[in-house]
Amino acid sequence: MLGSHGQGNSSTPCAACKLLRRRCAQECPFSPYFSPHEPQKFACVHKIFGASNVSKMLMEVPESQRADAASSLVYEANARIRDPVYGCMGAISALQQQAQSLQAELNAVRQEIMRYRCHENAMAAVMVAGFPPNNDRSTGSGTLSSQTSASTDYNVTSPNSGAAADVKDRTECTVVVPT
């Protein structure tokens, strides 16, 4: 996309001068940033911002950052053509909503894992107490003589404002052992 800095070429005009049908001078502000080999990039930028505004914007940016500014203008122009109302913000908003949805799904999966681990610990507690886990066992008397408690600590990492924070969640399972 970017030509060599400061080299206007009168035999091959830059994409801007070609589109604007003018001679590409040595001091052309567009030449270093809009290659004649990719004229569609300047065409999009020109359609959205106009050549005069693009020139002003590029001149307001320090020379070391102009290439990045030109790339940003091309990106924003393409986004505005796809979504004239929101442009880049529409894409950013959609990605943020997707990230929130995925975070909620991840939290739900972590809760499900904790439930399975709790159940696993409860079954282990029942086995330690000497009661095999079978559902055929008759508990006709309805009296309960002991309760076994199993608790487990889980570390859950949750991103908060771009930084990960460790949240300690304690899940406690109480197992009722029939006698």
pLDDT tens digits along 98-152? 999 999 999 999 999 999 999 998 888 888 877 655 555 444 444 444 444 444 4
Q: Residue 160 above 60 pLDDT?
A: no
| Intra-chain end-to-end CA distance of the chain, in Å | 79
All residues at 6 or more sequence positions from 167 whose CB lies less than 8 Å from its CB, including other chains: 155, 156, 157, 158
All residues at 6 or more sequence positions from 10 whose CB lies less than 8 Å from its CB, including other chains: 23, 24, 25
pTM of the model: 0.54
